[in-house]
C-alpha cells in the first residue's frame, strides 16, 4: 500500500513509518518542515504541509491508499500565548475531522487516527479537561465520516514508551540522567498512582493491523502493561544502571508533576485491552521493559 503518515517525523509516526516500510509498504511522511539528517526517517519521501492551517490539497492526498494520522497535538505543544479555544479547535476539534474529510474527498480508502485513551476509558474526564474533550471530538468527528468507501478507525493508546532523535529524545534527557544517578537534586521516589503503558513498537504494529483489518467506524482502546509510577521509574533506573531502589510517596515529583497526571495523583488508570481486538490488530504485549531500554539508548546516543 501507498501510505502517508501525518506527523511522520514524530516519535509515534517515525516508529510507524519504519515498521510499515519493513513490511513492504510504500511510505511517505508528512511534516511541517524538512526532515533532520539525524531522524530515523531521513531519506523517506516527504510531503510538507500543516493540517491545522490547512495547506494539504485533495490532489496531494489522492495518490495514497491509506493515511495514518499521528500528529494530534496535546498540551505540550500549546504555547502560553495561544488562545485555548482556538488552539484545540485547530489541532483537534476542527482540524482532525477536516483533514479526514479531505482524505475522503481525495479517494483515500483507509484512515487510521492515533488518539488517546483518556476519553474512551474515562468519559467523565472530558467534562472538565479541554484537552481530553478535544481529543474526544477529534476521534468522534473523524469516525463519523466512515462509510463503505472510506474505512476509518481510531486507535486510543495509553502512555507511550519510545523516543527518536530530536524533541522526544530531548524530552527524556533529564529523566535518563536522573535514572543513571547523575542528578542528585532530583529525589529518588515516584508519586503514588499509575497508568497503562505501551511501547511505540507495539503501537506501530497496531497501526499496521488497523490499516489492514480495522473495522470501519471503530475506536480501539489499546494498551499493554498496567504499571505504578514507581514501577515505571524503577524500570528506568534499572535500564540506566542506576543501581538503587525507588520508593513511593504521595508528593509531587519534578519529573512527573501533578499537571501531567490527568487522572490526579494517587489515582490509577488501569485496564486490560480486549483480547479479540489485540489479535485483530496484531500487536505484541509485555514490551515495556524492552522499550525503556531502547528509549535510554536513543537518549544517550543523541546526547553524544
User: How confident is the model over 45-97, as pLDDT tens digits?
Assistant: 999 999 999 999 999 999 999 999 999 777 777 777 778 889 889 999 999 99
Claim to verify: residue 102 and residue 237 sit in the same structural domain: no
17 CB-side CA count, 13 A: 27
User: Which of the four pLDDT bands, split at 50, 70 and 90, describes residue 34?
Assistant: very high
Which ranges constitute the DSSP H helices of 180-287? 200-213, 229-240, 275-281
Claim to verify: residue 262 and residue 189 sit in the same structural domain: yes
Claim to verify: residue 102 and residue 183 sit in the same structural domain: no
pTM of the model: 0.96
Task: Give a three-class secondary structure readout of 48-108.
Answer: ECCCCCCCCCHHHHCCCCEEEECCCCCCCCCCCCCCHHHHHHHHHHCHHHHHHHHHHHCCC
290 CB-side CA count, 13 A: 10
Claim to verify: residue 119 and residue 188 sit in the same structural domain: no
Claim to verify: residue 156 and residue 177 sit in the same structural domain: no
Claim to verify: residue 80 and residue 179 sit in the same structural domain: no
Claim to verify: residue 14 and residue 62 sit in the same structural domain: yes
Give me the pLDDT at residue 278, please: 98
Claim to verify: residue 102 and residue 72 sit in the same structural domain: yes
Claim to verify: residue 262 and residue 296 sit in the same structural domain: yes
| Phi, psi for residue 233 in degrees, rounded to 5 | -60, -40
- What CATH number did the domain enclosing 20 receive? 3.40.50.720
How many structural domains compose the chain? 2
Give me the pLDDT at residue 230, please: 98
Claim to verify: residue 105 and residue 36 sit in the same structural domain: yes
Contact 16, 204 (CB under 8 A): yes
Claim to verify: residue 114 and residue 217 sit in the same structural domain: yes
Claim to verify: residue 98 and residue 231 sit in the same structural domain: no
Contact 106, 62 (CB under 8 A): yes
User: Which of the four pLDDT bands, split at 50, 70 and 90, describes residue 304?
Assistant: confident
Stretch 247-273: mean pLDDT, rounded? 97
Long-range pairs of 119-122 with CB within 8 A, sequence gap ≥ 24: 119/156, 120/156, 120/219, 120/221, 121/156, 121/221, 121/269, 121/271, 122/263, 122/269
Print the domain residue range for 297.
167-194+227-271+288-303
Give me the pLDDT at residue 84, please: 82
Q: How far apart are CA 43 and CA 165, in angstroms?
A: 15
Amino acid at each position: 500500500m501507498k501510505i502517508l503518515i501525518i506527523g511522520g517525523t514524530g516519535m509515534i509516526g517515525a516508529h510507524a513509518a519504519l515498521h510499515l516500510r519493513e513490511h513492504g509498504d510504500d511510505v511517505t511522511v508528512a511534516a511541517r518542515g524538512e526532515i533532520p539528517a539525524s531522524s530515523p526517517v531521513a531519506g523517506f519521501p516527504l510531503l510538507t504541509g500543516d493540517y491545522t492551517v490547512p495547506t494539504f490539497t485533495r490532489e496531494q492526498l489522492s495518490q495514497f491508499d491509506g493515511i495514518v494520522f499521528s500528529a494530534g497535538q496535546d498540551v505540550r505543544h500549546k504555547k502560553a500565548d495561544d488562545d485555548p479555544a482556538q488552539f484545540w479547535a485547530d489541532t483537534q476539534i476542527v482540524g482532525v475531522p477536516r483533514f479526514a474529510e479531505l482524505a475522503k474527498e481525495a479517494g483515500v480508502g483507509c484512515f487510521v487516527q492515533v488518539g488517546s485513551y483518556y476519553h474512551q476509558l474515562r468519559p467523565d474526564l472530558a467534562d472538565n479537561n479541554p484537552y481530553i474533550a478535544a481529543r474526544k471530538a477529534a476521534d468522534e468527528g473523524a469516525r463519523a465520516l466512515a462509510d463503505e468507501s472510506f474505512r476509518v478507525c481510531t486507535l486510543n493508546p495509553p502512555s507511550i514508551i519510545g523516543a527518536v532523535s530530536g524533541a522526544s529524545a530531548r524530552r527524556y534527557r533529564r529523566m535518563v540522567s536522573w535514572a543513571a544517578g547523575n542528578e542528585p537534586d532530583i529525589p529518588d521516589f515516584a508519586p503514588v498512582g499509575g497508568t497503562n503503558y505501551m511501547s511505540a513498537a507495539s503501537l506501530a504494529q497496531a497501526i499496521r493491523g488497523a490499516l489492514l483489518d480495522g473495522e470501519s467506524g471503530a475506536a480501539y482502546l489499546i494498551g499493554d502493561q498496567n504499571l505504578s509510577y514507581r514501577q515505571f521509574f524503577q524500570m528506568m533506573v534499572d535500564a540506566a544502571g542506576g543501581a538503587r531502589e525507588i520508593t513511593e510517596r504521595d508528593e509531587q515529583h519534578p519529573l512527573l508533576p501533578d499537571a501531567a497526571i490527568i487522572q490526579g495523583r494517587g489515582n490509577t488508570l488501569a485496564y486490560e485491552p480486549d483480547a479479540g481486538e489485540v489479535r485483530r490488530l496484531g500487536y505484541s504485549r509485555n514490551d515495556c521493559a524492552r522499550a525503556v531500554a531502547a528509549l535510554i539508548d536513543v537518549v544517550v546516543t543523541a546526547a553524544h
